[in-house]
Structure 1
Amino acid sequence: MHFTTLSLIFSAVPLALAQYGDSGSSTTTSAAAAASQTSSSGPLHVVKVSNANGDLTFTPNDIQAAVGDQVEFHFYGPKHSVAQSSFAKPCAPVNSSAFFSGPITTSGTTANTEIFTLNVTSTAAIWFYCSVASHCASGMSGVINAPSDGSKTLAMYQSSAKTATSTIPSTVQGLIQGTLSSSTTSSATSSGASPSATKSAGVEARGGVKWTVVAITGVVAAAFGSLIV
């Protein structure tokens, strides 16, 4: 009789722990999912300057960014630049303070390790173009925060640029120079749940399974004890 009572007590312990383990797993998994959803959109906007095919494009070329956001330019070959322009005068620097990366030469089909970042300090429209050869006239341009009323669009800018002569800014300025490796790491971290959060979810889930198995073992032991008595 005593053996049966003790068996039932011990079997109840792992059952309670199994319930606790499952609850912990659910909470951690939910936290990881929430982290993935909330961090998928963030203050970093990556813009490809051309691509592996050598197209004369910025991708994306029409960006909405808030004050405090960063726009990061990744360069592909063979040679391109990014320079600040104005809607009124496409393919020319907006003024003497226009940001300019300088011409960036890239070999192969992968992105250059050198990147340039613009800190967004205003919601006013920022027009930009590639000053290399006739790239701007060929449609290689973009805009950050184009007017929402449609009075000035990228399509309008590009249409005017077809007959414009590209001007190279005289000074490399206004952008933060960096390396692709550090940016890629930052982007990967911000695009989903952190490795530690994902790992914790897995550990908690395995814990729940472990306690469930122990609980079943306890129940079997209790049943066996009652038979012996």
Structure 2
Amino acid sequence: MEPLIDGEMAKSKNIIKNICVFCGSRSGNSENFKLKTEQLSKEMTKRGYGLVYGGGNVGLMGSISHGVADNGGNVRGIIPASLSQKEISGTTVGHLEVTSDMHSRKKIMYEGSDAIIALPGGLGTFDELFESLTWIQLGIHSKPVGILNIDGYYTHLIEFLKHCAQSGFVDQHFIDAIVISDDPVSLLDQMETKTPPQPFIKWVKPEQL
């Protein structure tokens, strides 16, 4: 029998091979955004995790992809043709796939990863993060979702999500399912043992009907 930890049965580790990282095509106004992103890339490769990301090589997307590649990790970029000129400058790293639209891009990113992390970013990053959380609620996936809250970037958003729960529009246990930390090591440690919440419904694929 496994030893107990703090009076509870030891949690089993989630099987993680590739992490989908959502982040900005800009670097932001704080040096810490890039610094913490590079720290995350090193910790990911140290643990043997590959990267699935949005395919760009500018901003934080460039920092995470080059960081993983420079440390010997596998990199898989997924980018729609419409964004390739805006988010790619110079040489890319790893394997790059070009899709016809944003929906295909996100679908491939979700399917090709075992966990999801949101770094600071703009509206596109928010869209990807919220879709990931919605899919947990609907039972489409049960992958751990984490937020690297660098310099408190997501603090106000997290407080708003708590407000949504308090107002009766979101169940608190879906908010609690998000792993939040400002430290890459702590974030990955928690994501490796995070138990996903039970969804509202059991998702049925068309072929199962």
TM-score range, shorter chain: under 0.3
**Rg (Cα) greater in structure:** 1
TM-score by length of 2: 0.27
TM-score by length of 1: 0.25
Structure with more contact order per residue of length (Cα contacts < 8 Å, sep ≥ 6): 1
